[in-house]
Structure 1
Amino acid sequence: MAGEYNCSRCMQVMLPKTHSRISLARFRRLGLASRRSNFSTSTSTAPQNPLLRLHNSNSATATTRLGTLQCSKNRILKPLTRSVQTAIAAPEPSEETRPLRKPNNLFQSFSKSPSPIIRKRAEFIKHNAFCPHPSHQQTRISPAASSHSDASADSSTNSSSIPPAHSHFECPDCGVPIYCSEEHWMDDYEAHLEICDTIRQINEDDHDLVSGRFFPEFAYPGPQDDNFIVNMTNWDTFLYTREFDAINNERSMRQVTRMLTYPTTIASVIHELSPYTARPDGRLTVEGLKSLSALRYTLHPPKQGEGKDIKGLRLKAPPVRIFILGARAESSLPRQVWLQLSHMFPNALINLIFIGPESMANRDEEFPLPERTPENPFGGITEDRLGPQMKITTYVDYFHTMHNAQYFYPYDPYFDCFMLFHPGLGHPASSHEWEETLPKLLETKVPIICTGYTQSDMERDINWVHEKCAGEFDILLKPGENRFRSLRWDLNDLDPLDVSAGNWGIWGFRGKRYEATHKNDTIAA
Structure 2
Amino acid sequence: MRPSSSYTCQRCLQALRNPRAVPQGRILATRQALGQRTISTGQLNGSRLNGNGQTGIRPLRGITNKRTASSLGSQGQSVKNEPLEFRSPAGLASAPAPKTEERPLLLPNNLFHSFSNSPSPEIRRRAAFMKQNAFCPHPDHRQTRLPMNPDDPEARKSSQGGLAPAHVKFECPDCGIPVSCSEEHWADDYEAHLEICDTLREVNEDDHDLRSGRFFPEFEYPGDQIEEAMVNMTNWDTFLFSREFKAINDERSLRQATRLLTYPVTIGSVLHELSPYSIKKEGRLTVEGLKSLSALRYSLHPPRTGGGPDIKGLKPTPPPMRIFILGARAESSLPREVWVQLTHLFPRVAFHLIFIGPESMANRDAEFPLPERTPTNPYGAIVEDRLTNSLKISTFVEYYHTLHNAGHFYPYDPYFDCFMLFHPGLGHPASSHEWQETIPQLLETKVPILVTGYTQYDMERDIDWVKKTVGGEMDMLMEPGENRFRSLRWDLNDMDPQDVSCGNYGVWAFRGKRYETTRKDSEQ
Q: TM-score range by the shorter chain?
A: 0.7 to 0.9
Residue 329 (structure 1) aligned with residue 283 (structure 2): no
Q: Distance in 2 between matches of 1:106 and 1:185?
A: 23
Moved more, 440-449 or 298-307: 298-307
1:524 maps to 523
2:373 maps to 372
Q: How big is each residue's C-alpha offset from its partner over 1:501-521, in whole Å with a ceiling of 9 and x where there is no partner?
A: 1000100000000111024xx
1:101 maps to 106
Equivalent AA in structure 1 for residue 523 of structure 2? A
Secondary structure, aligned partner of 2:33: coil
Q: Distance in 2 between matches of 1:111 and 1:381?
A: 39
The root-mean-square deviation of aligned C-alpha atoms, in Å, is: 2.5
- Equivalences, count: 447
Alpha-carbon contact 2:103-2:213 (below 8 Å) kept: yes
1:425 maps to 426
CA shift at 1:158, angstroms?
8.7
Change (3 A) 1:113 1:142: farther
Secondary structure, aligned partner of 1:91: helix
Change (3 A) 1:391 1:172: same
Change (3 A) 1:89 1:351: farther
Alpha-carbon contact 1:147-1:191 (below 8 Å) kept: no
For normalisation by structure 2, the TM-score amounts to 0.81
Change (3 A) 1:383 1:124: same
Q: Distance in 2 between matches of 1:317 and 1:363?
A: 33
Alpha-carbon contact 1:284-1:478 (below 8 Å) kept: yes
CA shift at 1:424, angstroms?
0.3
Output aligned runs, 1:329-478, within 5 Å: 329-478=330-479
Q: How big is each residue's C-alpha offset from its partner over 1:422-444, in whole Å with a ceiling of 9 and x where there is no partner?
A: 10000111000000000000000
Alpha-carbon contact 1:350-1:389 (below 8 Å) kept: yes
Q: How big is each residue's C-alpha offset from its partner over 1:84-134, in whole Å with a ceiling of 9 and x where there is no partner?
A: xxx999934483277532112211100000000100100110111011111
Equivalent AA in structure 2 for residue 95 of structure 1? K
1:138 maps to 143
Q: Distance in 2 between matches of 1:428 and 1:357?
A: 19
Equivalent AA in structure 1 for residue 446 of structure 2? K
Alpha-carbon contact 2:153-2:498 (below 8 Å) kept: no
Q: How big is each residue's C-alpha offset from its partner over 1:354-402, in whole Å with a ceiling of 9 and x where there is no partner?
A: 0000000000110011111111111100000010000000000000110
Q: Distance in 2 between matches of 1:243 and 1:446?
A: 33
2:121 maps to 116
Alpha-carbon contact 2:170-2:178 (below 8 Å) kept: yes
1:91 maps to 33
Give the structure with the higher percent helix.
1
Alpha-carbon contact 2:142-2:159 (below 8 Å) kept: no
Equivalent AA in structure 1 for residue 33 of structure 2? P
Alpha-carbon contact 1:168-1:177 (below 8 Å) kept: yes
Alpha-carbon contact 2:486-2:506 (below 8 Å) kept: yes
Change (3 A) 1:225 1:163: same
Alpha-carbon contact 2:203-2:492 (below 8 Å) kept: yes
For normalisation by structure 1, the TM-score amounts to 0.81
Q: Distance in 2 between matches of 1:188 and 1:181?
A: 11
2:172 maps to 171
**Structure 2, gaps ≥5 residues long:** 15-28, 36-78, 82-101
Q: Distance in 2 between matches of 1:44 and 1:104?
A: 25
Alpha-carbon contact 2:142-2:158 (below 8 Å) kept: no
2:89 maps to none
**Structure 1, gaps ≥5 residues long:** 1-42, 61-86
CA shift at 1:44, angstroms?
12
Change (3 A) 1:158 1:263: closer
Q: Distance in 2 between matches of 1:44 and 1:175?
A: 39
Q: Distance in 2 between matches of 1:175 and 1:44?
A: 39
Alpha-carbon contact 2:143-2:158 (below 8 Å) kept: no
